[in-house]
Each structure stands twice: as C-alpha cells, then as structure tokens.
Amino acid sequence: MNTKTEPHDGQPARMEIVSTRSFAHPRESVFNAFADPAQLAQWWGPNGFTNTISRFELRPGGVWRFVMHGPDGAGYENTSEFVEIVRPERIVFDHLMPMHRFRMTMTFEDKHGATNLTWRMQFEPDEQNETLRPLIVHGNEENFDRLAAHLQKTRR
C-alpha cells in the first residue's frame, strides 16, 4: 500500500492526490470491478457508503450518474463524464460536480498476475479542496480496502 500527495508538476496551483495499491488479482479482474456497474456499486466509496447507479456509459463522452448514500442516510448525487477508456489499462473521467471538481486517471498495471492500481486525482485550485485533502486521501484508502474485499469475495 502506498498513498502519497504531491503538487502538479509545472502548475503549483493545482492540487494532485496520487493513491496506489497493489492487488493480488489479474488486471482484467481489477479493471472489470470498475467497468461493471453491478460490481462497482458494491465497493465504490468510503466505508459505510452504498451506491445507486442510474447511468453508466463506459466510453469517451459517456456519463456516469449515481447517488452515494452515506451512513447517516444522506444522499450525495454525483455526475462524471468519461474522457478516455483503454481496456484494461486506463480509465479517465471528469467528476463534474461544482464542489470537488476533479479529473481522475486510473491506471491498471500488470505485475506478473497482480495489479498495481493508481488513482491520480487533479483538482482545480480551491481552498476547500486543500482543506479536504486528508479526508480524500483517507477515503481513497478505504475505497481500496473495499475493492480488495470485493475482489477476494468474487474470486471464490
């Protein structure tokens, strides 16, 4: 497990968060855990959250709409647009909500049957995003934990 934060090269005003985790599962399985909305709904988000996905078009220009349901019962609507899909190597999408607007680049690197998954989140300059950095980093780790548990469960 390796999570780090770093400034965006050449543009110090942009905030970038890079989270990486190695999974003992084939790259295709890890990729499909995101590419299949039925699987994605089971593990996406921090601990205690559930998801209702209403639209998922995994193609450039495709839309991903869903509601994350928090442990307190609150619903958080999300809309993203896919920018690039290279199966099973990379997924790029723009999270389009006014708060927490960012570009996510997910890379799936094959490591002799295991997969290194890297999330690179690039945020627009915003004081609130900088304040939320520790929560985002922690949330990414919880998300990776949930993905690991999902992959282990579906392996059987």
Question: Which residue has tokens 């190597």?
Answer: 89
Is residue 1 scored above 60 in pLDDT? no
Is residue 4 scored above 70 in pLDDT? no
Give the pair of three-digit tokens for residue 141: 């780790």
DSSP-assigned beta bridge partners for residue 105: 92, 120
**pTM of the predicted model, to two decimals?**
0.89
Question: pLDDT (tens digit, 9 = 90+) per residue, 77-127?
Answer: 999 999 999 999 999 999 998 778 999 999 999 999 999 999 999 998 777
Question: pLDDT (tens digit, 9 = 90+) per residue, 136-148?
Answer: 999 999 999 999 9
What are the boundaries of each domain within the chain?
Answer: 2-155
Is residue 6 scored above 60 in pLDDT? no
Is residue 16 scored above 80 in pLDDT? yes
What is 2-155's CATH topology? Alpha-D-Glucose-1,6-Bisphosphate; Chain A, domain 4 (3.30.530)
133: alpha, beta or left, given left = phi > 0 and alpha = psi -120 to 50?
Answer: alpha
- In angstroms, the CA 26 to CA 113 distance is 5
- In angstroms, the CA 83 to CA 64 distance is 11
User: Where does the chain have alpha helices with state H?
Assistant: 27-35, 37-43, 127-155
